[in-house]
């Protein structure tokens, strides 16, 4: 109170035209306030205490307090936050894995290669247009995003690739950042690889035996070699590390899309030049000890379909990183979405994650490997709340979730039995020339060329499975898919010895390639489970307007009961929030297990799942037991596994498989010729 | 106005006496308006206020000093934010616009100019940074360095050294015996172009060159920063970090992916490092890289040495002897003034000395070639050099007339050969008049200085008064005897150093002993590779006074480094080379012209025994011109050791060669100093 009063007093005095006397005024005021006897002398020189002054006062007060706190914070011993955390959570924090394992006597042994995923690697500007002046060698992606807010359109222009070649547009060169800094932190305070790096450093790793294979994640995999020679670089660096560390083979740790990138690399390095790296068929056997895939979308992710189709998967990483809400249609209108769509569609790499294997893997109209999955069962187990009965009830309900139908138009369609759905083939439908007035639209996406007839044809097909989703994308975005089909393939090989599979477009598809001849390699599939993950969508046709994306997820559709997997128009399934368990685990659980035609030399595979537990309190940040797609890189159990393998352990030393989900059951249901 | 008034009653609402106040306040407001009309009513206003005040006395507010402070800080903050906002809202071309308005249009940066000429990226470029300029980051440290993991201890913010100076010194030091990491500390070079593009925020090293190269199409795949831990001896960078192997692998990769040979651009000590590399890569494993004798011919198009101390720098001696060369980069970088004795006493200097003495690399720059190169008691190649003459030619305004030249002959001859002299009289008197007592056999007394006062250890503490006297008694040290001096005052350090570096001149280069790596960085004891197509450039600034010889005195104090430069030795004469106890000569502020230029001017010119395959050499000097005004920053025509990296003429030369030009295309030699004349005077068997 006293504080308030003091302030009010300062607001009260009568005005005085001259600001010059304000200094005197400050000294007079106390006297004037504390006792009236000197008022008469004081009054003539009294200055006005205006709103401006109060503002200054407030700001000054805040600033001073801020500085004071900052000073205290800086003088605080570095261990103080930890102390507080320990005091609150009770009991000492567990040692980070690096410290723990160091005590056990583990030391750096095998060199380590990180292969970052999509989105997480920084990109910097090397040449740009006028509007990007001053951003030379500054990050356009990652960190501050080149102060995107100052020039959003300029930014979109620079981040886009050429629409036809999928390479640089003329006059613009955006290049991946190199070194560990490329992906240790994505934005200030948001770690990606930093935790893993720090823990590895504890047992003696440093830059000479850790290598971040950063690449331009916007390009198709083969184009990274064409433009930047990234694959050659990676090969040369791995060879160097093996040579300088006394012949110790490397442990490769790809994350997310990096998993596919590294599959591509392994085929590339064996293939003869000019298409390949000419390392010979024993290169992998000579240089690689283990591949520890983290959250790898081996068989693609449904999210990428909705991303390409309507750039809508609400929490797709691309959109999320912009800060939640930014992309919200209600705030920015569709225009922003369209710009985003136009930009992301120039990125060939997004097409690497379209679901692979079609209906054999992802399920048909009335069948899916995950059917019977009970969303609430997992949830309840995490909460430790509900015992069995509810799980039993829901088993009867869940038949309704037709995961095989990746895209359905309308909830009724999603639920109906396939025989009851009227479908009209869209493939030959005539695309009307755009009836919508496109002159107002300053962005170009292929939807403008499709016209009303095309939209209707798509909607009339009602249901799209993993197989027909490809046709759908070919229909709505023919140019995009034409570019993409030169670099990626989504099928299942009948005969892997067919010479056509030497083409690089098959290299990143585990269902169309053989693993290398390296029986000593170990392949791990490490991923989080226990988080609902997008698996199928309910769509609707958007109302007509001038410039629009004609389809959107029908967010009004939500399951009636708590156990339903349908929420906001999205059917979800077990996974790590981005990659469904099936995609991350199937190859190691079944496709490559033992000697199969995809793994002719019997490379050992292990499935390591990490059950998601959200951080107990805010002080834990993103948690040490997280199973989420990116946060899992800070999961202590996972880090420990990685460190042990890097220090020489084998998969059996780790304890073989570690499974929480139904991955083996689901894999069994998939009829894939092995 | 209206809003302000409306607020006042609002503020008073919660009070008991509000109503009265309010009515009064309203009255006052009316008065306000009156007052705006005319000031004659002021008296009445104050009277009213007084009355009002008396009633309010009980809860009267106080306007304290604290409030004033807050007010003031608030004002400053607001103004600051306002300016910051304006600055940010300003188009980024604004500063350039202002500069142009003041100085007239700026020349295009070389990158833009050459891009217009149609030059495109051709040869991959390798940068080899020098001592001090490369960043070092912490990978493992003690508790006191907590939170600095992967933060720069050297470069950037220096790991906030001011917060924990001793901790910092401890982490920056190497092991005193092995010259490698101390137990429990791992400090590693930063990798990538960021390692040395900026030394500190705003202080460029390679950034200008990189930016200009980028204009003609270079990017990270065609540019490589061969960052190494510049504290280690050259061979140890390979032993500990495999830096040389890394460099070899990278160059091979870049040559393979681009199909063109590499252009190497070493700077400062990087020049010696690259000399070492060229010998290393040819030598068979395990000591060498096993690249074979034609590796350089296959992979290197040109070596463009910038400010290379090929024959060492006298500054290194002063640095090792007393940590004192005032502007030695090591000391300067820590921020001018901190090292000043007057503030921190010798203690600070001693800590720095202890630290720098653990760095083997500092010994790579001790003057090489002894008296033959650097001159003896009565002779030096640069003698007769007139600093003022250079100054005039630099400005191009005042021609040198004969009078001046004549005058100079009357002046006492400067004995540059005497790198260290004790006392000014000694420095100036003829050799025959100097009484010297040999110090080499002198017994070192055991520290009779008060040993308890030292918490740092330098070898001086073991030397004692006897040793100090003996050193002083020898009076004068030339290029040869300076080595003996260092061996005497710092035997442990030199024992470590002599395993990695050598400072002599080879009699017979085919002697198998020269296969040892300690000779590889000395151009006088190593042959250039067999690569006749290669070109070697010596590019350096000239026209700046550069330390060449010192006048020392024994310094009397208790905890001390027993020698210091006699800064009182000064010449009033403008033409003098003596200032603050330092004789200077032409150079780039750090490296004398002789050291940077001799090998390319004479030692390697044509086919000599040091250059058996006849690699072509070129000398490119850049005359120093200080920045015309503050807006130019560190200038575009600077010749100073580090600032030269922003010299447009040099940048242009590098770019032309990178885009495919040869030395002859550039116009061959470009010389401002007397380097050829001086080189002639050196009697070195070639």
Complex ipTM: 0.81
Lowest model confidence (mean pLDDT) among A60-69, A264-273, A501-510, A636-645 = A60-69
Interface of B with A in 33-62 (CB under 8 A): 35-36, 39, 42-43, 45-47, 49-50, 53-54, 57, 59-62
Chain B residues with CB-CB distance to A50 below 8 A: 4
Q: Is the pLDDT of residue B604 over 90?
A: yes
Nearest to B253 among A6, A56, A232 (CB): A232
Q: Rounded mean pLDDT of B347-351?
A: 68
**Residues across chain B:** 686
Distance between A44 CA and the closest CA of chain B, angstroms: 7
B4 touches A: beta carbon within 8 Å: yes
- Band (pLDDT 50/70/90 cuts) for residue A49 is low
User: Kind of pairing, strands B535-542 and B616-623?
Assistant: parallel
Q: Rounded mean pLDDT of A214-229?
A: 92
Interface of A with B in 127-186 (CB under 8 A): 127, 133-134, 136-137, 173, 175, 178-181, 184
Q: Rounded mean pLDDT of A372-386?
A: 52
Q: Measured between alpha carbons, how far is residue A333 from residues A439, A568, B359 in Å?
A: 17, 20, 62
Taking CB atoms and an 8 Å limit, are A240 and B245 in contact across chains? yes
pLDDT of residue A431: 62
Residue of B nearest to A138 (CA): B194
pLDDT in tens, A409-451: 887 777 777 777 777 777 666 665 544 444 445 455 667 667 7
Q: What percent of chain A has pLDDT over 90?
A: 32
pLDDT of residue B387: 63
pLDDT of residue B655: 94
A208 touches B: beta carbon within 8 Å: yes
> Which of A151-165, A237-251, B492-506 has the highest mean predicted lDDT (pLDDT)?
A237-251
Interface of B with A in 86-115 (CB under 8 A): 92-93
Q: What residues of A are labeled active site? A: 256, 576, 629
Distance between B207 CA and the closest CA of chain A, angstroms: 10
Q: Is the pLDDT of residue A640 over 60?
A: yes
Q: In whole angstroms, what is the distance from residue B375 CA to residue B634 CA?
A: 34
What contacts A97, CB < 8 A, 6 or more positions away?
A199, A636, A639, A640, A643
Taking CB atoms and an 8 Å limit, are A126 and B214 in contact across chains? yes
Taking CB atoms and an 8 Å limit, are B70 and A60 in contact across chains? yes
Q: What residues of B are labeled active site? A: 268, 588, 641
Residue of A nearest to B31 (CA): A14
CA B351 to chain CA centroid, Å, is 20
Taking CB atoms and an 8 Å limit, are B139 and A64 in contact across chains? no
Nearest to A63 among B49, B77, B149 (CB): B77
Q: In whole angstroms, what is the distance from residue B571 CA to residue B582 CA?
A: 10
Q: Is the pLDDT of residue A605 over 90?
A: yes
Nearest to A36 among B50, B73, B191 (CB): B50
> Which of A254-263, B150-159, B634-643 has the highest mean predicted lDDT (pLDDT)?
A254-263
Q: Is the pLDDT of residue A378 over 60?
A: no
Give the mean pLDDT of chain A.
79
Q: Which residues of B43-66 are buried (b: 16+ CB within 10 A; e: fewer)?
A: eebbebbbebbeebeeebbbbeee
Chain B residues with CB-CB distance to A137 below 8 A: 193, 197, 210-211, 214
- The enclosing H or E element of A399 equals none
Q: Is the pLDDT of residue B88 over 90?
A: no
Chain B residues with CB-CB distance to A60 below 8 A: 69-77
Higher-pLDDT residue of A419, B496: B496
Q: Rounded mean pLDDT of A578-600?
A: 92
Q: Which residues of A18-56 are buried (b: 16+ CB within 10 A; e: fewer)?
A: eeebbeebbebbbbbbeebeebeebbeebbbbbeebbeb
pLDDT of residue A48: 59
A233 touches B: beta carbon within 8 Å: yes
pLDDT in tens, B30-60: 444 444 444 444 444 444 444 444 444 444 4
CB A25, CB A45: distance < 8 Å: yes
Q: Which CB contacts under 8 angstroms, 24+ apart, belong to A550-555?
A: A550/A447, A550/A450, A550/A455, A551/A309, A551/A310, A551/A455, A551/A458, A551/A459, A552/A310, A552/A312, A553/A306, A553/A310, A553/A312, A553/A313, A553/A314, A554/A410, A554/A411
A81 touches B: beta carbon within 8 Å: no
State whether residue A592 is helix, strand or coil. Answer: coil
Q: Rounded mean pLDDT of A662-674?
A: 89
Q: Is the pLDDT of residue B3 over 50?
A: no
Residue of A nearest to B197 (CA): A137
The residue whose two tokens read 């050193």 is B471
CB B549, CB B313: distance < 8 Å: no
Rg of chain A over all Cα atoms, to the nearest angstrom: 29
B147 touches A: beta carbon within 8 Å: yes
The residue of A3, A82, A126 whose CB has the most chain B CBs within 10 angstroms, and thus the best one to mutate to test that interface, is: A126
CB A351, CB A474: distance < 8 Å: no
pLDDT of residue A7: 43
State whether residue B503 is helix, strand or coil. Answer: coil
pLDDT of residue B91: 65
Q: What percent of chain A has pLDDT over 70?
A: 76
pLDDT of residue A77: 65
Nearest to A178 among B7, B92, B192 (CB): B192
Q: Is the pLDDT of residue B194 over 90?
A: no
End-to-end CA distance of chain B: 90
- Band (pLDDT 50/70/90 cuts) for residue B388 is low
DSSP-derived letter for residue B606 is: S
User: What are the start-end ranges of the H helices in A477-611?
Assistant: 478-485, 581-586
Residue of B nearest to A241 (CA): B246
CB B367, CB B316: distance < 8 Å: yes
Q: Rounded mean pLDDT of B604-617?
A: 92
pLDDT of residue B246: 92
Q: What percent of chain B has pLDDT over 90?
A: 32
């Amino acid at each position: 109170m006293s504080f308030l009063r003091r302030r009010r007093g300062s607001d009260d005095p009568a005005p005085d035209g001259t600001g010059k006397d304000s200094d005197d005024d400050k000294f007079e005021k106390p006297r004037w306030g504390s006792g009236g006897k000197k008022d008469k002398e004081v009054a003539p020189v009294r200055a006005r205490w205006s709103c401006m002054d109060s503002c200054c006062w407030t700001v000054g007060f805040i600033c001073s307090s801020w500085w004071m706190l900052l000073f205290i914070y800086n003088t605080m011993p570095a261990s103080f936050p930890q102390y507080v955390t320990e005091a609150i959570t009770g009991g000492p924090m567990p040692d980070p894995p690096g410290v723990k394992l160091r005590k056990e006597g583990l030391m750096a042994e095998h060199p380590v290669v990180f292969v970052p995923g999509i989105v997480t690697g920084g990109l910097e500007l090397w040449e740009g247009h006028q509007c990007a002046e001053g951003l030379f060698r500054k990050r356009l992606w990652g960190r501050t995003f080149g102060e995107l807010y100052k020039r959003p359109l300029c930014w979109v222009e620079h981040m886009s690739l050429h629409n036809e070649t999928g390479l640089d547009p003329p006059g613009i060169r955006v290049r991946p950042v190199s070194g560990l800094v490329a992906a240790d932190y994505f934005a200030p305070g948001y770690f990606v690889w930093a935790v893993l790096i720090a823990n590895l450093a504890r047992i003696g790793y440093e830059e000479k035996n850790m290598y971040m294979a950063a690449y331009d994640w916007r390009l198709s995999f083969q184009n990274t070699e064409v433009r930047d020679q990234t694959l050659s670089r990676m090969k040369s660096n791995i060879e160097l590390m093996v040579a300088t560390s006394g012949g110790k083979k490397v442990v490769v740790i790809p994350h997310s899309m990096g998993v596919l990138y590294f599959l591509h690399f392994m085929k590339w390095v064996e293939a003869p030049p000019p298409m390949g790296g000419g390392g010979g068929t024993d290169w992998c056997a000579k240089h690689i000890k283990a591949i520890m895939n983290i959250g790898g979308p081996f068989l693609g992710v449904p999210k990428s379909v909705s991303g390409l189709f309507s750039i809508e998967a609400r929490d797709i990483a691309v959109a999320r990183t912009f800060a939640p809400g930014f992309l919200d249609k209600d705030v920015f209108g569709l225009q922003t979405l369209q710009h985003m769509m136009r930009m992301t569609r120039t990125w060939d790499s997004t097409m690497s994650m379209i679901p692979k294997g079609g209906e054999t893997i992802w399920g048909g109209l009335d069948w899916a490997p995950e059917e019977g999955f009970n969303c609430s069962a997992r949830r309840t187990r995490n909460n430790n709340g509900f015992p069995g009965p509810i799980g039993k009830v829901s088993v009867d309900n869940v038949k309704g979730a037709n995961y095989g139908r990746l895209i359905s138009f309308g909830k009724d369609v999603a639920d109906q039995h396939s025989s009851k759905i009227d479908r009209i083939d869209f493939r030959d439908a005539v695309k009307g020339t755009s009836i919508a007035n496109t002159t107002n639209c300053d962005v170009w996406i292929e939807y403008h060329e499709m016209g009303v007839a095309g939209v209707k044809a798509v909607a009339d097909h009602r249901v799209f499975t993993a197989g027909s989703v490809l046709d759908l994308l070919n229909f709505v975005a023919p140019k995009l898919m034409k570019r993409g089909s030169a670099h990626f393939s989504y099928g299942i090989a009948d005969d892997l010895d067919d010479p056509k599979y030497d083409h690089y477009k098959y290299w990143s598809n585990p269902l169309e390639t053989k693993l290398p001849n390296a029986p000593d390699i170990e392949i791990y599939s490490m991923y989080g489970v226990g988080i609902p993950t997008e698996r199928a969508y309910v769509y609707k046709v958007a109302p007509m307007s001038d410039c629009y994306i004609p389809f959107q997820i029908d967010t009004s559709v939500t399951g009636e009961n708590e156990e339903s997997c349908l929420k906001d128009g999205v059917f979800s399934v077990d996974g790590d929030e981005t990659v469904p368990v099936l995609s991350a685990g199937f190859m190691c659980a079944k496709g490559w297990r033992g000697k199969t035609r995809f793994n002719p030399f019997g490379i050992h595979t292990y499935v390591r799942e990490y059950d998601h537990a959200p951080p107990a309190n805010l002080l834990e940040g993103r948690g040490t037991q997280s199973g989420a797609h990116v946060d899992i890189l800070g999961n202590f159990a996972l880090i420990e596994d990685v460190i042990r393998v890097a220090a020489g352990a084998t998969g059996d030393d780790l304890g073989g498989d570690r499974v929480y989900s139904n991955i083996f059951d689901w894999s069994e249901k998939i009829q894939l010729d092995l | 106005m209206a809003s302000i008034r409306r607020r006042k009653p609002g503020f008073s609402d919660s009070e008991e006496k509000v109503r009265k106040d309010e009515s009064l306040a309203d009255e006052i407001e009316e008065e306000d308006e009156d007052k705006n009309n005319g000031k004659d009513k002021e008296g009445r206003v104050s009277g009213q206020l007084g009355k009002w005040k008396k009633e309010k006395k009980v809860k009267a507010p106080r306007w304290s000093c604290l409030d004033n402070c807050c007010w003031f800080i608030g004002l400053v903050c607001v103004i600051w934010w306002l300016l910051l906002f304006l600055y940010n809202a300003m188009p980024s071309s604004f500063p350039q616009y202002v500069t142009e308005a003041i100085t007239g249009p700026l020349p295009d940066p070389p990158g833009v100019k050459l891009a217009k000429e149609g030059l495109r990226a051709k040869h991959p470029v390798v940068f080899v940074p020098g001592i001090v300029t490369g960043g070092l980051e912490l990978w493992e440290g003690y508790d006191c360095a907590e939170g600095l993991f992967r933060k720069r201890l050297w470069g950037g913010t220096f790991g906030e050294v001011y917060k924990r100076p001793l901790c910092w010194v401890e982490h920056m030091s190497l092991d005193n015996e092995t010259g490698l990491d101390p137990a429990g500390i791992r400090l590693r070079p930063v990798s990538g172009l960021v390692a040395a593009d900026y030394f500190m925020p705003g202080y460029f090293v390679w950034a200008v060159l990189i930016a200009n190269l980028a204009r003609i199409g270079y990017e990270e795949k065609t540019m490589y920063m061969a960052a190494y831990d510049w504290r280690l001896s050259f061979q140890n960078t390979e032993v500990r970090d495999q830096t040389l192997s890394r460099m070899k692998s990278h160059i091979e990769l870049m040559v393979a992916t681009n199909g063109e040979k590499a252009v190497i651009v070493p700077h400062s000590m990087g020049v010696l490092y690259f000399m070492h590399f060229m010998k290393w890569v040819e030598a068979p494993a395990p000591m060498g890289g096993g690249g074979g004798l034609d590796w350089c011919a296959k992979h290197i198009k040109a070596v463009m040495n910038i400010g290379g101390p090929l024959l060492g720098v006298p500054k290194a001696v002063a640095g090792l002897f007393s940590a004192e060369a005032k502007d030695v980069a090591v000391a300067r970088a820590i921020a001018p003034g901190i090292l000043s004795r007057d503030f921190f006493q010798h203690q600070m200097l001693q800590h720095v000395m202890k630290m720098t003495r653990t760095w083997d690399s500092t010994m790579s720059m001790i003057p090489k070639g002894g008296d033959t190169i650097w001159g003896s008691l009565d002779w030096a190649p640069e003698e007769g050099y007139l600093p003022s003459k250079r100054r005039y030619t630099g400005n191009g305004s005042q021609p040198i007339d004969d009078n001046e030249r004549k005058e100079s002959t009357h002046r006492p001859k400067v004995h540059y050969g005497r790198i260290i002299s004790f006392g000014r009289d000694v420095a100036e008197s003829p050799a025959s008049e100097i009484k010297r007592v040999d110090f080499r056999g002198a017994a070192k007394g055991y520290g009779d200085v008060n040993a308890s006062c030292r918490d740092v250890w330098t070898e001086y503490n073991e030397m004692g008064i006897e040793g100090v006297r003996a050193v002083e008694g020898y009076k004068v040290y030339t290029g040869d005897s300076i080595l003996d001096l260092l061996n005497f005052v710092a035997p442990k350090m030199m024992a470590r150093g002599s395993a990695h570096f050598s400072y002599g001149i080879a009699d017979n280069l085919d002697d198998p002993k020269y296969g040892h790596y300690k000779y590889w960085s000395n151009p006088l004891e190593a042959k250039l590779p067999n690569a006749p197509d290669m070109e070697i450039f010596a590019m350096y600034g000239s026209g700046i006074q550069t330390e060449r010889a010192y006048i020392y005195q024994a310094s009397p104090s208790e905890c001390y480094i027993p020698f210091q430069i006699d800064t009182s030795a000064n010449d009033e004469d403008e033409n003098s080379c003596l200032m603050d106890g330092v004789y200077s000569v032409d150079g780039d502020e750090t490296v004398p012209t002789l050291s940077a230029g001799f090998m390319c001017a004479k030692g390697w010119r044509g086919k000599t025994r040091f250059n058996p395959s006849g690699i072509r050499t070129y000398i490119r000097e850049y005359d120093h011109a200080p920045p015309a005004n503050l807006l130019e920053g560190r200038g575009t025509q600077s010749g100073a050791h580090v600032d030269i990296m922003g010299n447009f003429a040099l940048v242009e030369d590098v770019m032309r060669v990178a885009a495919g030009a040869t030395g002859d295309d550039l116009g061959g030699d470009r010389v401002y100093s007397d380097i050829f004349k001086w080189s002639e005077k050196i009697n070195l068997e070639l």
